[in-house]
């Protein structure tokens, strides 16, 4: 399996086609309202922003947004979008080795990232992320629910329980991509170890999990 970063860099130009699936439009219409509303007036750290589909929507409500991604190819597309409030900046960064920014953020959003974290690295990821956030900061993760007939089939499962999909790009290349599909119970139990007010919203094709970081 190639690195996830290399796959998404190669996929950048065709990435946003995932939002065109007809059966998912009702979910997306709800989430385009629900997700930005979580961040009204907040200083938001958006991780794995990709091509920035959600970034302008969040920026409409947020005080400021720092959107990070590892791939410059996806960041270039995100930067080219319109941000009328001029309250967004972008930065290339490794989510597993986040920079030490001068100030901590009051909120965090991660879309379609949780499913790509190996199960054995979830604690390292969360602990590193939380160190860049204020106590009581709101965190929201959004990702896919596995839906037979709409989702790419799972091709295999490894010894640690991670699942994978085989994906094909426009250039004809085939890529094995780690893609986990946690249950609501699994998400709630894990997030309750790190925060309070854990909420899980189960849309048809997507889910959104939110919580607040426990005070130190």
pLDDT in tens, 1-24: 457 777 877 788 888 999 999 999
| Residue 165 burial (CB count, 10 A) | 17
Please determine, for residue 205, whether its predicted confidence score (pLDDT) is greater than 70.
yes
The pTM assigned to this predicted structure is: 0.94
| Residue 31 burial (CB count, 10 A) | 20
pLDDT in tens, 181-192: 999 999 999 999
Domains of the chain, residue spans: 4-213
Topology of domain 4-213 in CATH is Rossmann fold (3.40.50)
| Beta carbons within 8 Å of 67's beta carbon, 6+ residues apart | 46, 49, 52, 55, 78, 88, 89, 90, 91
């Amino acid at each position: 399996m190639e690195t996830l970063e290399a796959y998404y860099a190669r996929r950048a130009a065709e990435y946003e086609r995932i939002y065109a699936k007809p059966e998912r439009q009702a979910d997306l219409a709800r989430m385009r309202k629900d997700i930005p509303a979580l961040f009204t007036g907040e200083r938001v750290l958006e991780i794995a922003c990709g091509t920035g589909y959600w970034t302008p929507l969040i920026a409409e409500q947020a005080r400021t947004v720092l959107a990070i991604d590892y791939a410059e190819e996806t960041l270039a597309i995100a930067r080219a979008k319109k941000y009328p409030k001029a309250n967004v900046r972008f930065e290339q960064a490794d989510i597993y080795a986040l920079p030490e920014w001068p100030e901590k953020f009051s909120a965090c959003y991660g879309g379609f990232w949780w499913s790509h974290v190996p199960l054995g690295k979830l604690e390292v990821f969360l602990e590193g992320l939380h160190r860049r956030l204020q106590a009581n900061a709101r965190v929201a993760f959004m990702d896919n629910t596995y839906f037979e007939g709409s989702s790419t089939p799972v091709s295999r499962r490894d010894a640690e329980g991670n699942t994978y999909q085989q994906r094909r790009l426009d250039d004809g290349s085939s890529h094995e991509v780690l893609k986990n599909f946690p249950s609501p119970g699994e998400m709630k139990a894990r997030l309750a170890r790190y925060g309070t007010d854990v909420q899980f919203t189960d849309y048809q094709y997507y889910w959104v999990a939110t919580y607040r970081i426990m005070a130190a």
